[in-house]
Structure 1
Amino acid sequence: MAKLREKEGLAGELLAYLDEQARLGFSWVVYDSERPIGGSWDLLCYRDQISAFREAAENQQISGWHIARPIAQLRRAFAIQEYELKNLTMNRNSLEAFREEAKALKVPQNMIDAAEALMEQNVPRIEIFGQVPADRGMMDVTIHIKQSGQSDFYYFNKFDVAMSKAKPLENDHQYMVISQSAADKDKNLLRRFSSPIQAMDYFKAQKGNAELSTGKASDKDLQYRDTLATMKDGKVDYVKKEFSQTFHSPVIQNSHYVDRGKGFSIEQAANMLQGRAVFRGDLVSRAGVPYKAWNTYQFNEPKDRYNNYTLKQYGEGYRFDLKKELASYEIKEMQQPVTAKQLVARMENGYSPVVTVIGKDGESRPLRIEAVPRYGNINFSEPGGKPVKREDYQKEQVISHAVGKEKGHAKNRGQQQGQEIDM
């Protein structure tokens, strides 16, 4: 194959040149096969084979190794190179776009790496499973990437989050499902899972005898596993008492569609699934008008037609100012600009961080804090989850205003400017 210099669009330029020469009646081309072709000046075209071979033979005596080929043959070679270069450029652009979008949506790095490996293999549909921390245990995350039907370009268009009531496992422990082999009833199969949701789904789908357990899956440790549930002839016949609520409770899950890196991030979706509110300042209404709002899932409302929770939004008209609310308390993290900015950002992303708060008695205590835009305030609790009275930590000058504010919110709840939207 002819060698080309590294120049963007060169193969296309040479294709156009050869097409033009063919239209002028030339059918043969001579070039130096030992040197990369840098442009049309490196190609000598002839109308007949004899002239082309004569030119190639004469040039052998001067420099390089010149060869004569039919224009149609060299054209095919350039067309192949142009196609490969376009695909290479497209794949590189696709990977770069995915990296930027995944970073903006807070996709864990190990999931990004796994997705890129499959994209490089040209897999048309990609689903990558991972986990992110939750208040109690881990939350499942699945990202969905699809290749365009017209090109090799990839689109990251959706992710799912799911949460169960399973407790965190010890280090090096996994969920395991031991089941009968369909091919050999006397042989058992072992599958390992990091996700309790996936493990339970797989266990419940079995048709014969099966066991759901936790423990270390090595041969020497398998005998010490903790059995959570068993199945006989496709029917569950035992569930451990401590695991019963987790096993029988429905999984809380939701899907989010994204557009070129825009949408709720994975950390925001995970925090909303745990019942908290998140703030977004980049929202756009169906009429194309930008707006800002706090967002929460409506767990008590029917799901939409896509089996997702609808959102309740609290816009600017609702007059919940997080920074102003935080200033009503003696919070050490709010005393420095850097830590104050970090605290506000985490709370806007739906986290419930632990801060140091000074009470009326002058004592500082570590308390967990959470934004509650529905009622226009923030909640405090002990790190273990026990609620505490916010009034015990309010600055003296704002206590008298707080009572009136609570009454005002109660009176105007019917005038809330939240919206219910389909996700």
Structure 2
Amino acid sequence: MNTKNFDFLKDELKYTGFGEQLYGELEQQLKQQAPQFQLRLQLAYHNSTVDHTLHFRRSDQTDRYFFNKYEAVLRSPDLDKERSHTFYINRNGGITTKEAYNLLQGRSVYKELLNAEEQPYKAWVQLDLKTREPSGNYKVKQYHDNYGYDLDKTLQQFHIKELQDPQQKEMLLRSLRKGNQHPVTALEGSEAVKRFVEASPQFKTINVYNEQRHAVMRETIQQQETPDRRQVQEKAVGLKESAEKRQSRRKGMTP
């Protein structure tokens, strides 16, 4: 068995989100030297489970094995039927197991990807859960930076306590970019309430949920215009209207 290859594969499993649970099975499979093999692992999230099938293949030229892809099957009591998608290790920007779960839930993940010329770029990735490709995978939608979705600026439109602390704010941004539904303390009217929020790049906003994770109107925690700001805007509009009236009178006096 190639021990360096074993160590490399262990790191890949760990950083993809599979932890250390499969190390023993992986070692046994590498010792058997089969051309290819699969490992399986189920992970639980909230009220759902995801069954993973990991695919490994030996090089045709050396004794090295490669972790090429994993299939993820989401099962949840909130869904009419299971959802499945295959994530390729070398071609999808390194989608972790938690990110795969979030994508199968319909949420978006912010990743650094490579274009056809191997140049890096960043984009929000989302699965179109209504459209299957010939391969059986869901169609993948991308929202690049030039699409105009700024998560930080979007969050500033809402009464979210965590935004007032730089460390908590950074944690919130990082979590939302991974596709998580993140718990926050929000202000609804004059009352502090617990809410879950998630990024919604397609519509350039966020989605908001209550403690039972049922969708609620985002406007309930959205910041309203302050009286001072409103007065400034009204004054500006009034000045503009006065100027237009003066200009109209001058035109009327012109022979």
TM over 0.5: yes
- SS of residue in 2 equivalent to 1:356: strand
Gaps of 5+ in 2: 231-255
CA–CA distance in structure 2, aligned partners of residues 365 and 111 of structure 1: 41
Could you tell me which residue of structure 1 aligns to residue 147 of structure 2? 318
TM-score, scaled to structure 2: 0.80
TM-score, scaled to structure 1: 0.50
Superposition map of 1:46-57 within 5 A? none
Question: Structure 1 residues 113 and 378, CA, compared in 2 at 3 Å: closer, same or farther?
Answer: farther
What is the identity percentage for the equivalent residue pairs of Structure 1 and Structure 2?
A: 27
CA–CA distance in structure 1, aligned partners of residues 149 and 91 of structure 2: 30
Q: Residue 93 of structure 2 contacts residue 114 of structure 2 at CA under 8 Å; is this kept in 1?
A: no
Q: Which one of the candidate residues 164, 179, 189 is aligned to 1:335?
A: 164
Q: Residue 139 of structure 1 contacts residue 270 of structure 1 at CA under 8 Å; is this kept in 2?
A: yes
Superposition map of 1:22-421 within 5 A? 91-166=2-77, 250-259=81-90, 262-280=93-111, 282-301=112-131, 303-361=132-190, 363-397=191-225
What amino acid is the match of 1:164?
R
What amino acid is the match of 1:279?
Y
Q: Residue 101 of structure 1 contacts residue 260 of structure 1 at CA under 8 Å; is this kept in 2?
A: no
Q: How much has 1:352 moved relative to structure 2? A: 0.6
Q: How much has 1:371 moved relative to structure 2? A: 0.7
Q: How much has 1:328 moved relative to structure 2? A: 2.2
CA–CA distance in structure 2, aligned partners of residues 357 and 347 of structure 1: 16
Q: How much has 1:135 moved relative to structure 2? A: 4.3
Q: Residue 100 of structure 1 contacts residue 261 of structure 1 at CA under 8 Å; is this kept in 2?
A: no
CA–CA distance in structure 1, aligned partners of residues 211 and 51 of structure 2: 24
Q: How much has 1:122 moved relative to structure 2? A: 3.3
- SS of residue in 1 equivalent to 2:167: helix
Deviations 1:208-264 (A, max 9, x none): xxxxxxxxxxxxxxxxxxxxxxxxxxxxxxxxxxxxxx8xx5431010111299532
Q: How much has 1:269 moved relative to structure 2? A: 1.5
Question: Structure 1 residues 121 and 322, CA, compared in 2 at 3 Å: closer, same or farther?
Answer: same
Q: How much has 1:132 moved relative to structure 2? A: 2.2
Moved more, 338-347 or 108-117: 108-117
Question: Structure 1 residues 261 and 284, CA, compared in 2 at 3 Å: closer, same or farther?
Answer: closer
Q: How many residues of Structure 1 are paired with residues of Structure 2 in the alignment? A: 228
Deviations 1:298-337 (A, max 9, x none): 1222x22321111111111111111112222232222222
- SS of residue in 2 equivalent to 1:149: coil
- SS of residue in 2 equivalent to 1:106: helix
Q: Which has the larger radius of gyration?
A: 1
What amino acid is the match of 2:159?
E
CA RMSD after TM alignment? 2.5
What amino acid is the match of 1:275?
G
Q: Residue 129 of structure 2 contacts residue 138 of structure 2 at CA under 8 Å; is this kept in 1?
A: yes
Q: Residue 105 of structure 1 contacts residue 261 of structure 1 at CA under 8 Å; is this kept in 2?
A: no
CA–CA distance in structure 1, aligned partners of residues 223 and 106 of structure 2: 28
